[in-house]
A and B are shown apart, each in its own frame.
Chain A
Amino acid sequence: MKKNGLLAAAICCCCMAGAQSTEEIKTLFPGELAVVKEHKVHYTIKLKDGIPEAVSDEQQEILYLSENAGSYMSRFSFYHSSFHPVNRYEAFTETPGGKKIQVKEFKTSQSVSASVFYDDVKQTSFDFPNITPGASGHLEINKTHTNPRLLSPHYFSRGIPTLLGELKISFPKDMSVRYQIRGNDREKVQFSTETRKGETTYTFTVKNQAKDMNYPDAPDNAYYALHAIFWIENYKSGDQLISYMANLEDLYKLQWSFVKDINKSISPELKAITDSITGGLTTAELKARGIYKWVQKNIKYVAFEEGMEGFIPREANLVCNRRFGDCKDMSSILTVMLNYAGVPAYYTWIGTRSLPYDYTDIHLPIVDNHMITAVRLDTGYVFLDGTDSHCVFGAPSGHIQGKQAMIGINEKDYKVIRVPEYAPEKSRLTDTTILELTEKGITGTVKVNMTGYFAMDMQRVMSYTNDKDREKYMKGYFNRGSNKFKLNKFEINENGNPDRFSLSGQFELFDYSKKIADEWYLNLNLFKFYEHKEIDFPKRKTPIEHEYKNSATYVTILNIPEGFKISYLPESKSYKNDVWGFDISYRQEKNQVIMTQTFTNDHLLLQPDKFQDWNKVLENLFPLYRETISLSKN
């Protein structure tokens, strides 16, 4: 019984320490290389000169589990910026024996992103010394949040599991702070509140939170990762109750403050450009079309976002001279040009599809990350996104579909309107391949017609490739059957309509069809787009994002060679459920076999409750991918 006694003592020890041993953690999260043992952030909001200011104390402890941790897991970093300056920080390693080794070298550099050319976000990096399995890295950071309106949501999950996550928010008791919990596993958040000595503290605790799974086709983690959004609703200054971010009006007041002082005058050059575009045009719509096109073509996207530059659009006159700008600058120049031309146009804020929030749910700056221009025509509002150089007038730019827009009418008035989603029948692709069987193999032609986002995407590709790159691109675009596809010739049939695009090409495809004795074998499924596209159901809990709704038809026509007849023709089949479906049909018309496949996607975001039905369609589809036709001698 000695053994058991020891075990009991060990368990008891653990209980007393109130912590799990490394071995227990390994059992809890098998196969993980590291876990966040503890992540605690405590925000303290106080009034400074009558205005709220927040300070945060953050502590995290990373426990290393991998045997190889020492060789590659020491690197760690954190971020800060002019709105969230870091006051002090400290990091150390705690060895399994309990010894502390301080980090001495920290390096701070600018954090460079692909989309923003220049901003003031900084990254401080360092290495935890002496990392071994069972060692833990501790980091403590104290930051000031100069403008608590810009507080970021707190995430309880990340790429590795978190054993204990805690968010505390302390604030004066006559201040009102609200919160919302978002993402999966909301029920895991335990909330408590207490008020002591004139200060209220909210505590949110999450235990044993699994890691976020990374799927390349998932939307931004704000859609599914567990997080808390919190904000100051109002506070007392003297006897006065000040509304801070209590409602949409408060948010609008903030937004308007960014634009109220800009564009007080319009330069002769910008006037001249606008006049030259709109001269002779009689309707507001035609003028708006012309101005939008000019901005799309002439103003290139380059983003400088240092400090308040991240919020205040630049003067339209400057944007015009420089011929570049970020989204706010494009909104600025569009709005000024349109208004000058007599078309009612407004600065408009919007969150792109990478943010899941609606203004009507949350009235904080985190709801949006983008600016556009809304134009009021007789038919209603049209949304113009200057950053999308190939968006067709009237269509929403792809990344704002379905999102609420906040249209700034004037200092007092604004409207919140939802940008429509573009219906699948508006983005159509029809791809027709005609195949000829020759002794050497297949030769053929392809014709592709596109509308909507298919066409806009293609126009974009065309404008950013030169003739040299285009050949390479087209070889990939036309490719079908196998990688022995050889594109001999292609033609782009431009008709001046940005909402249409068509292409044609001639190719050879050897070793795809098989001729044995007097029989030909050939699989007309030249594309198997959905092969291996089953969703990892039920494990996957994160939605799937599709760029746009669409409908695609692929037609394959085989000319039956002289002296041959069809000896096997696969059956036609269609399968549809509430989520999606397909039609595949085979038919013979004179000396041709015509196979048609149609797929429609009516989802921008496919939620996990639809995954099973999605997979069901694939189950029905896959056997059809393996159907080959055969031709034999007459």
Chain B
Amino acid sequence: MKRVLLSLVFISGLTTVLFAQEIERESWAGQPVLHTIDSKYNEESAVIVLDKRRMEYIDVKDELAVYKTLHRIIHINDDKGIESFNRVYLPVSDNSDIVDIRARTILPSGKIIEVSKENIKDLKEEEDVYKIFAMEGLVKGCEVEFYYTYKRNTGFFGAEIFQGRTPVLEARFDLIAPDRLVFEMRPFNSTVKPLDTMVGQKKWLTIVEKNIPGVEEEKYSAYQAGLKRFEYKLAYNTSRTTKDRLFTWDELAKRVYSNYTTVTDKETKRTNDLVGDMKVKDLSSEVEKISATEHYLKTKFTTREDIGGEDAMNLEKVIKSKLASHVGIVRLYSAVFRQLGIAHEFVLAGDRNKFTIEKNFENWNNTDNPLIYFPSLKKYLAPTLPEFRFPWIDPNWGGTNAFFCKSTTIGEYTTAFGEIRVIPLEDYSKSMSNVDAEVSLSKNLDTVLVSISQIYAGYSAAAYRSIFNYNSEENIKLVTKEMIKFGTNSENVISSKVENKDFESFNQNKPFILSAVVKASELMERAGNKLIIKIGDIIGQQVEMYQEKPRQFSMEIDFPHVLERHIRFTIPDGYTVKNLEDIKISHVVTEKGQPTVGFTSTYVLEGNVVKIHIMEEYRKTSYPLSQFEEFKKVINAAADFNKVVLVLEKK
């Protein structure tokens, strides 16, 4: 909710005390010496000796200003360290006032090289503005040090992530504010508690955490969500007459409701005209109306976060230009649904991969992703995501807490209140990546004939539908070839067909199906007169976890789903298969008697047809670290099946 609301954030009520305050100024050691780094870090390319950040809220005249400071010292161990830290990009605000900016290299010889001001350049990249410079004189064993303080756009929420790939010896975060402003700070993935102190008129909230290990990305993990970070928010202003908590979820609800629903008569009129053009009024059910509206708006309108300006929120202008900001498009959906009399609520979702929305810690910045909720259907629509269709939304926005803006009308007056609850994802059984394949040998036994259907539904289908709708025919052919190759290891496609690629099918969850007939000589090997059929290749190469380092994060998957495969292999006349039992692989994890994640492959032999059935399922999105060994076995069971071959011998 960053972009919309911050522009409307009020300062009123924060009655200011008008006497001159100086902001804290950062400085560095006059005679710096290199730090001695513990030998346990010898294998690291670099070590962050100090990562110090400060956010200072200060009264300047009649305004509350915010200054941000960053001060880092990095010890460089090798060439990779030099390459990683010799270029520095420091984000600043658009109209930023830089208070201080300095950077220097401290060489092992004791020599100090400071970057001169004229070599600090401004870079404007899309919406972001940076100060950039290159550190000078870097050699192995040197230290890079820089600090800067700049005036930021005023905001009353934030998050500072202190963990990454490079270890940090000392991380420090200070939040300074006039004593009337009470901030709350919450650690995530950390047990360190913030310390409260008063220095003169300023209140300091300080977090210090030492020896933060560097962490690498792992398969099936939500990397960013697992990093150590500290979030903060303004909770009280003691100088106000009321002692109510600030920036509550209820307050957000009121603003969201007002932002999304306040429209002028002209806007309403243009929306009415649009609804007329859409020809959805006469559709019989609510679901049909919702689906048709969504299809119309998602085909004809563009929405992106970087489409800005007032025009991109004003429905009159949006309907004319077909260009909308994210707020603009939600306003449009809401206006249309109001016209159609479809009850809906606004939801701002988080992102499971990045952070969580907490009931008792109202960080408005985490309510990033707009959704529209239909209470009578208990389903969601994602207005900003053209590749998803009701009720399918980006699965990372669900399976976790979200902010719900509920409205109630009392007489003429409508008000809204906030609620935090989980957006449930659609049931695991509705999202599938299934395969149905007939495998046989050509008459002269020189190649394998495969008739294969790849069947995708639910969340699993979203990516494929995007590809098949947003690409030229030529690119689609290439993708089709790659997809078929994945399940047959062959490019020798005799024919292929795609069904239900249209987005409307998504609403009804009709599966997207790619079927092909393939001559896959790659699936057969020969050892003299014995034939080796690489039946496991039909499921394609699988993610493996054969050689894993000690696990750091719990296991997370994007969405619950199944992968069910039916493979029928016809044994050619005169041949027999000696190793059918190799097909049987099973590893299933259960909780309370119910499978949560598992892979099972079985077969039956009917006449000369081997009927293989594989059920691979992931019923939950998250699996605790304690289940890592079990989880790994399931992943590897699928990867093992991919290696199954059938050896055919003459009878």
State the A residues within 8 Å of B (CB): 30-33, 66-68, 70-72, 74-75, 101, 104-105, 107-110, 112, 117-118, 127, 129-132, 213, 298, 300, 302, 304, 306, 321-324, 463-469, 475, 482-484, 486-487, 511-512, 514, 516-517, 521, 523, 531-532, 534, 567-568, 622, 625-630
With A70-B301, A300-B86: A627-B526 Cβ-Cβ less than 8 Å: yes
Which residues of chain A are near B306, meaning CB under 8 Å? Answer: 107
Which residues of chain B are near A482, meaning CB under 8 Å? Answer: 643
Q: Cα distance A482–B579 when bound, in Å?
A: 20
State which of A71, A213, A469 has its C-beta within 8 Å of the C-beta of B302.
A71
- In the complex, the answer to whether B125 meets A71 with C-beta atoms within 8 Å is no
Interface window among B320-328, B426-434, B504-512, B610-618: B320-328
* A-B pairs, 7 with minimum CB distance: A31-B473, A568-B528, A129-B321, A630-B527, A628-B527, A322-B136, A70-B300
With A71-B386, A110-B123, A322-B136: A466-B80 Cβ-Cβ less than 8 Å: yes
With A68-B299, A68-B469: A74-B521 Cβ-Cβ less than 8 Å: no
State which of B45, B79, B643 has its C-beta within 8 Å of the C-beta of A484.
B643
Which residues of chain B are near A323, meaning CB under 8 Å? Answer: 136-139
- Tell me if B419 is interfacial: C-beta within 8 Å of chain A: no
Query: 0/1 per residue, B494-511, Cβ < 8 Å to A?
Result: 000000000000000000
- In the complex, the answer to whether A71 meets B298 with C-beta atoms within 8 Å is yes
Q: Cα distance A522–B80 when bound, in Å?
A: 41
- Tell me if B639 is interfacial: C-beta within 8 Å of chain A: yes
- In the complex, the answer to whether B578 meets A629 with C-beta atoms within 8 Å is no
State which of B113, B124, B323, B470 has its C-beta within 8 Å of the C-beta of A68.
B470
- In the complex, the answer to whether A302 meets B308 with C-beta atoms within 8 Å is no
Q: Cα distance A516–B79 when bound, in Å?
A: 51
Closest chain-B Cβ to A627's Cβ sits at a distance in Å of 6
Query: 0/1 per residue, B48-80, Cβ < 8 Å to A?
Result: 000000000000000000000000000001111
- In the complex, the answer to whether B527 meets A70 with C-beta atoms within 8 Å is no
- Tell me if B288 is interfacial: C-beta within 8 Å of chain A: no
- Tell me if B44 is interfacial: C-beta within 8 Å of chain A: yes
Complex: chain B residue closest to A103, CB-CB: B321
Which residues of chain A are near B38, meaning CB under 8 Å? Answer: none
Complex interface residues of chain B between 433 and 488 (CB less than 8 A to chain A): 469-474, 476, 485
State which of A72, A101, A105, A131 has its C-beta within 8 Å of the C-beta of B309.
A105
Closest chain-A Cβ to B597's Cβ sits at a distance in Å of 20
Q: What are 16 pairs between A and B in contact, CB < 8 Å?
A: A31-B473, A31-B474, A67-B299, A70-B322, A110-B124, A117-B134, A130-B320, A130-B321, A302-B86, A324-B134, A466-B78, A511-B643, A516-B578, A523-B525, A532-B485, A626-B525
Closest chain-B Cβ to A396's Cβ sits at a distance in Å of 23
- In the complex, the answer to whether B578 meets A129 with C-beta atoms within 8 Å is no
Query: 0/1 per residue, B113-126, Cβ < 8 Å to A?
Result: 10000000101111
Complex: chain A residue closest to B45, CB-CB: A466
With A72-B470, A464-B79, A467-B43: A484-B527 Cβ-Cβ less than 8 Å: no
Q: Cα distance A213–B45 when bound, in Å?
A: 41
State which of A132, A306, A511, A517 has its C-beta within 8 Å of the C-beta of B300.
A132
Interface window among B1-9, B190-198, B541-549: B541-549
- In the complex, the answer to whether A129 meets B647 with C-beta atoms within 8 Å is no
Which residues of chain B are near A521, meaning CB under 8 Å? Answer: 527, 530, 532, 645, 647
Which residues of chain A are near B79, meaning CB under 8 Å? Answer: 463-464
- In the complex, the answer to whether B43 meets A302 with C-beta atoms within 8 Å is no
State which of B123, B302, B320, B647 has its C-beta within 8 Å of the C-beta of A118.
B123
Closest chain-B Cβ to A132's Cβ sits at a distance in Å of 7
Q: Cα distance A501–B399 when bound, in Å?
A: 50
Q: Cα distance A72–B579 when bound, in Å?
A: 52
Which residues of chain A are near B302, meaning CB under 8 Å? Answer: 70-72, 74, 127, 131
Query: 0/1 per residue, B610-651, Cβ < 8 Å to A?
Result: 000000000000000000000000000001100101010000
Which residues of chain B are near A33, meaning CB under 8 Å? Answer: 471-472
Which residues of chain B are near A105, meaning CB under 8 Å? Answer: 307-309, 311
Closest chain-A Cβ to B37's Cβ sits at a distance in Å of 14
- In the complex, the answer to whether A129 meets B323 with C-beta atoms within 8 Å is yes
With A323-B137, A463-B79: A101-B321 Cβ-Cβ less than 8 Å: yes
Which residues of chain A are near B121, meaning CB under 8 Å? Answer: 118, 304, 306
Q: Cα distance A32–B639 when bound, in Å?
A: 38
Which residues of chain B are near A112, meaning CB under 8 Å? Answer: 123, 125
State which of B124, B137, B322 has its C-beta within 8 Å of the C-beta of A129.
B322
- Tell me if B83 is interfacial: C-beta within 8 Å of chain A: yes
Complex: chain A residue closest to B78, CB-CB: A466
- Tell me if B358 is interfacial: C-beta within 8 Å of chain A: no
- In the complex, the answer to whether A514 meets B645 with C-beta atoms within 8 Å is yes
Which residues of chain A are near B139, meaning CB under 8 Å? Answer: 298, 323
Which residues of chain A are near B474, meaning CB under 8 Å? Answer: 31, 213
- In the complex, the answer to whether A31 meets B472 with C-beta atoms within 8 Å is yes
Complex: chain B residue closest to A631, CB-CB: B527
- Tell me if B103 is interfacial: C-beta within 8 Å of chain A: no
Q: Cα distance A511–B301 when bound, in Å?
A: 52
State the B residues within 8 Å of A (CB): 43-45, 77-83, 86-87, 113, 121, 123-126, 132, 134, 136-139, 216, 298-302, 304, 306-309, 311, 320-323, 386, 469-474, 476, 485, 489, 491, 521-522, 524-528, 530, 532, 541, 544, 546-547, 578-579, 639-640, 643, 645, 647
Complex: chain A residue closest to B536, CB-CB: A511
With A68-B469, A105-B309: A302-B527 Cβ-Cβ less than 8 Å: no
Known A30-B473, A514-B579; 16 more pairs at CB < 8 Å: A31-B473, A72-B470, A74-B322, A75-B304, A101-B320, A104-B309, A109-B126, A118-B121, A132-B322, A306-B121, A323-B137, A463-B80, A467-B43, A512-B643, A516-B578, A517-B578
Which residues of chain A are near B323, meaning CB under 8 Å? Answer: 74, 127, 129
Which residues of chain B are near A127, meaning CB under 8 Å? Answer: 302, 307, 321, 323
Q: Cα distance A522–B186 when bound, in Å?
A: 58
Q: Cα distance A627–B521 when bound, in Å?
A: 12
Which residues of chain A are near B491, meaning CB under 8 Å? Answer: 532, 534
Complex: chain B residue closest to A120, CB-CB: B121
- In the complex, the answer to whether B547 meets A626 with C-beta atoms within 8 Å is no
Q: Cα distance A423–B464 when bound, in Å?
A: 45
Q: Cα distance A466–B83 when bound, in Å?
A: 12
Which residues of chain A are near B473, meaning CB under 8 Å? Answer: 30-32
Which residues of chain B are near A109, meaning CB under 8 Å? Answer: 124-126
Closest chain-B Cβ to A391's Cβ sits at a distance in Å of 15
Which residues of chain B are near A322, meaning CB under 8 Å? Answer: 113, 134, 136-137
With A70-B301, A486-B546: A626-B526 Cβ-Cβ less than 8 Å: yes
- In the complex, the answer to whether B521 meets A626 with C-beta atoms within 8 Å is yes
- In the complex, the answer to whether A628 meets B525 with C-beta atoms within 8 Å is yes
Closest chain-A Cβ to B80's Cβ sits at a distance in Å of 5
Q: Cα distance A478–B568 when bound, in Å?
A: 35
- In the complex, the answer to whether A131 meets B322 with C-beta atoms within 8 Å is yes
- In the complex, the answer to whether B530 meets A483 with C-beta atoms within 8 Å is no
- In the complex, the answer to whether A324 meets B80 with C-beta atoms within 8 Å is no
- In the complex, the answer to whether A483 meets B301 with C-beta atoms within 8 Å is no
Which residues of chain A are near B138, meaning CB under 8 Å? Answer: 300, 323-324
Which residues of chain A are near B80, meaning CB under 8 Å? Answer: 463-466, 469
State which of A71, A466, A484, A531 has its C-beta within 8 Å of the C-beta of B301.
A71
Which residues of chain B are near A302, meaning CB under 8 Å? Answer: 86-87, 134
Which residues of chain A are near B83, meaning CB under 8 Å? Answer: 300, 464
Which residues of chain A are near B309, meaning CB under 8 Å? Answer: 104-105
Which residues of chain B are near A630, meaning CB under 8 Å? Answer: 527-528, 530
- In the complex, the answer to whether B527 meets A304 with C-beta atoms within 8 Å is no
Q: Cα distance A68–B470 when bound, in Å?
A: 7
Which residues of chain A are near B546, meaning CB under 8 Å? Answer: 483-484, 486
Closest chain-B Cβ to A193's Cβ sits at a distance in Å of 37
Complex: chain A residue closest to B308, CB-CB: A105
Q: Cα distance A514–B647 when bound, in Å?
A: 9
Q: Cα distance A315–B143 when bound, in Å?
A: 25
Q: Cα distance A304–B136 when bound, in Å?
A: 13
- In the complex, the answer to whether B532 meets A514 with C-beta atoms within 8 Å is yes
With A322-B136, A323-B139, A626-B525: A468-B43 Cβ-Cβ less than 8 Å: yes
